Amino acid sequence: KAGVTQTPRYLIKTRGQQVTLSCSPISGHRSVSWYQQTPGQGLQFLFEYFSETQRNKGNFPGRFSGRQFSNSRSEMNVSTLELGDSALYLCASSPGDVYNEQFFGPGTRLTVL
């Protein structure tokens, strides 16, 4: 099976702009989770989508949002970018049952100038 794919792999934006990141899960996986990774805060959970519904949410401001489509592909959006949003954004997919192993994508490196 093909692994989790994320596009784009690298992105440079300026403060105030918005950005959309995309994630294609492993075929058959219904759960997609998003994580932010930074040197200072480490890996932090953003949200999880399952069957097009947000099932879990982390402690991030409302500028961070996401959605999932009927084919399980997911997008996350960050509006009004801030310098502190510069990070590696990881997507992970799993079959959907709780506590399953999560399979991670390569990440999207976002730099906000």
Partner 1 sequence: AQRVTQPEKLLSVFKGAPVELKCNYSYSGSPELFWYVQYSRQRLQLLLRHISRESIKGFTADLNKGETSFHLKKPFAQEEDSAMYYCALSGLSAAGNKLTFGGGTRVLVKP
> Shortest approach of partner 1 to residue 107 CB, angstroms?
8
Number of residues that this document lists for the chain: 113
Rg (the chain; Cα; Å): 13
String of contacts with partner 1 for each residue 5-34, x by CB under 8 A:
--------------------------x-x-
- DSSP annotation string for 58-99: -S--TTEEEEE-TTS-EEEEE-S--GGG-EEEEEEEE-SSTT
- Binding partner 1 (rule: CB under 8 A), the pick from 19, 24, 25, 48 is 48
Residue 73 interacts with partner 1 (CB under 8 A)? no
- Binding partner 1 (rule: CB under 8 A), the pick from 19, 87, 90, 110 is 90
